[in-house]
Amino acid sequence: MNINEKQTWHFKEDIYVEATGTAVGPYESNGPLTESFDKCYDNLYCGEDNWELAERKLMMDAISICLKKANKTEKEINVLLAGDLLNQNVTSNYVARQLKIPYLGTFSACATAMETVAIGASLISGGFSNRVIAATSSHNATAERQFRYPTEFGGQKPDTSTFTVTGAGALLLSKKPTSIKVTHATVGRVIDMGIKNPFNMGTAMVPAALDTIMTHLKDTGRSDSDYDLIVTGDLSIIGSKVLKELLREQGIKLRNNYQDCGVMIFSRDQPVFAGGSGCACPAVVTYGHLLKEMQLGKIRRMLVVATGALMSPTMMQQKESIPCVAHGVVFESEVIDP
C-alpha cells in the first residue's frame, strides 16, 4: 500500500469485492431500487418482537447472504468489521456474538460503510487478513427512538429532515479475482461548520464531503471526469444541491457523474422528507445497486463518499454543533479472463 500525502491510501495489491449481501425494510422495498436488493421485508419488525431485534436480523441476513454467494463459512473469514447507529454498536456486537468471527467494531455514523471497507482493504493489503467482511446497518424506528423523539409522540418535522433507511449491507473483500477491485481509500477529517440543527444533517455534512472529495482529487492527481460516478452517502436532496454549488466554486462542475444514495433509494412520492439517511443508506445502494451496475459494465470507476454526522442526543441537548466526517473509497471494474 502506498500513501499519497496524508489522507489517501493507494492499494497496490489487487483487492477484490468477492461478494455482497443486502436486506432492506418496507419503504426501501417499495422504492426505485427494489430489484437490486437481496432480501426485502414488508414491515419494520422483520418477523421479530421489537425493532432492535429487527435491525439485528437485517445485518445477519446481509452477512449470511454474502457468505452464501461466496460459498464461504464464518470460519473462513478472518475479521468482521461492523458498525451501526445504536449506542455502543449493539447491533454489530450481538451479531458478532452469534457469528463468532474475530470482530472489530467501527463507528463513523453514516460514513461507517466506507470506513469498514477502507480498513478491510488495508488489512488485506498489509497481509494481516485474507478475507474480511465489512457490514453496517440502520433502522428507521430504532434511530428515531434513540436520536429524536419516542415514535408514539408523532412530532412534526421540517422538510429538511431525512428518513433513516431500514436495512443492512455486507461486503466480502479478498484477493480472489472478480470484476470489481477496491483501489483507493481517502480517510476524511472531522469538520464542524457550527450547524446545530439535527433536522438538517444533509447540509451539516456537506463540508466534510467537499473536503474529502477535494482531498482525494488532489492526492490522486485526478479530476472529476476520471470517474464515471461520484456518489455521496446521504446528503439528501438539499445537501447534495449545496455540495454541487460548492464544488462548482472550486471549478468542479459535476453533471451526470454525481448522485447521492439518499436521493436514489426513495422516489419523490414517498413520504421521506429530503431523502434517505443512516448507515444502511450508502451500504445497500452501493453494495446492491451500484456494484451491480459495475458488473454490467455501466460504471467502470466510482468514488463512493459516505457521509456521517457524529453527534448524539446528549450533545444536542447541550447546544453543541454537529461534527461530521466523510470517507471515500474507489471501486474499479476490470475484465476477468474466463
Residue pLDDT tens, the chain, 338 long: 665 457 999 999 999 999 999 999 999 999 999 999 999 999 999 999 999 999 999 999 999 999 999 999 999 999 999 999 999 999 999 999 999 999 999 999 999 999 999 999 999 999 999 999 999 999 999 988 777 665 555 666 767 788 899 999 999 999 999 999 999 999 999 999 998 988 888 899 999 999 999 999 999 999 999 999 999 999 999 999 999 999 999 999 887 899 999 999 999 999 998 899 999 999 999 999 999 999 999 999 999 999 999 988 788 788 899 999 999 999 999 754 44
Alpha-carbon dihedral of residues 257, 183, 233, 64, nearest 10 degrees? 130
> What is the pLDDT, as a whole number, of residue 337?
45
Q: Residue holding cell 462542475?
A: 253
pTM attached to this predicted model? 0.94
Per-position DSSP letters for 139-186, written without gaps between them: -HHHHHHHHS--GGG-----TT--EE--EEEEEEEESS--SEEEEEEE
- The pLDDT score that the predictor gives to residue 274 is 86
Angle at alpha carbon of residue 71, lines to 61 and 134, rounded to 5°? 50
Distance, CA of 268 to CA of 286 (rounded, Å): 20
Q: Is 13 left (phi over 0), alpha (psi -120 to 50) or beta?
A: beta
pLDDT of residue 152: 55
Strand, coil or helix: what is 136?
Answer: strand
Separation CA 6–CA 63 (nearest Å):
32
